[in-house]
Amino acid sequence: MAALSMSAALKGQPLWPSATAQQGRNKKQASRMTRRQLSTSCFILEPFTLATLPTVDFGWTFNSADDCNAGSYCRKNYYGSTLHDNKQNIGAAADRVLADESNTRKKDSYKALMLAVAMQEADKMDHRDTSKDNDPLSMNCSVLNINCDMLQRAGKLRGPHGESPIDTNVDCYAIRDQNLDRVLLLLRRAFDVWTPKRTLDFIRGGSTGFDDGYGGSCNCPVYRRAIASLYKAFSDDPSLMTDGRRGDITVPPC
């Protein structure tokens, strides 16, 4: 497939291969988020608007699966019903957590961000990284692989309008595998108070990436742009949020 230019992407040309007939039917049943709704909601994600995405190392291009440069879209396998079902589960959890949000564009934006974080983590969005389970603060929770330190800090935050903290003593062992709703609720509070930018710095770089104030460690800026790129892909093709395809963007290791 020929590479798509930024100008083509801005005109709404799809960034993903055409779906099969079944995928086409899935698209009709996809999220109520229309392309226009997601595109116009980008103001929620400052500084993740298209105007701030570098076009040199983050061009809107396809590369083969074995030639994935940092920040480029990579054509990956179609994972079928397994990935479709896991997307549905994550999307349903996000809907429950965001049910009381009256700002529709903000609600849709947060849901897309949550799905983008999960999609970046694993091919089928079906497991968490257990390699840090021996460190209570670094231990990852849920398929989004958000570490315990971040969730515990988020639990103590007051909401943007003075709402009470969600949980001043988050038990990560209790929620790491079985309580996705709780993890997403804490993630929502982090988005609300810290902004998406700083929250993504914490997800990628841990407390170091968060505490330095600009996310300079662990390739946090590259990770943020990767999540923004997936968000843009959702806005161009909302069926990507519910079908069996996965976008994978290579981010250099820490």
Hey, how many other C-beta atoms are within 10 angstroms of the C-beta on 15?
A: 21
What is the per-residue pLDDT across 91-129, written as a single tens digit (0 to 9) for each? 999 999 999 999 888 888 899 999 999 999 988 999 999
Provide the number of structural domains found in the chain.
1
User: Taking a C-beta distance cutoff of 8 angstroms, is the pair 176, 152 a contact?
Assistant: no
Tell me: the pLDDT tens digits for 158-205? 999 999 999 999 999 999 999 999 999 999 999 999 988 899 999 999
Q: Is residue 251 part of a domain?
A: no
Residue 175 lies in a domain: yes
Any domain includes 102: yes
DSSP per position, 54-119? -SSSS-S-EE-TT---TT-EE---B-HHHHHHHHHHHHHHHHHHTTT---HHHHHHHHHHHHHHHH
- Residue 40, classed as helix, strand or coil, is helix
| pTM recorded for the entire structure | 0.74
pLDDT one-digit tens code per residue, 196-237:
889 999 999 999 989 886 667 788 888 888 888 888 788 777
**Distance of alpha carbon 88 from its chain centroid, rounded?**
14
> Is the CB of residue 16 less than 8 Å from the CB of residue 241?
no
16 in any annotated domain: no
| 3-class state of residue 211 by DSSP | helix
Spatial distance between the Cα atoms of 154 and 148, rounded to a whole number of angstroms: 10
Q: What is the mean pLDDT of residues 44-66?
A: 35
In a domain, 12, yes or no: no
Dihedral, CA of residue 166, residue 169, residue 171 and residue 172, to nearest 10: 80
Q: Is the pLDDT of residue 58 over 70?
A: no
Q: Are 1 and 75 in contact (CB under 8 A)?
A: yes
Write the CB contacts of 22 (distance below 8 Å, at least 6 apart in sequence). Answer: none
pLDDT more than 90, % of the chain: 44
* 48: nearest Cα among 97, 116, 100: 116
Domain that holds residue 234: 26-238
Tell me if 203 is assigned to some domain: yes
pLDDT of residue 76: 53
Within a domain: residue 10? Answer: no
Q: Is residue 7 part of a domain?
A: no
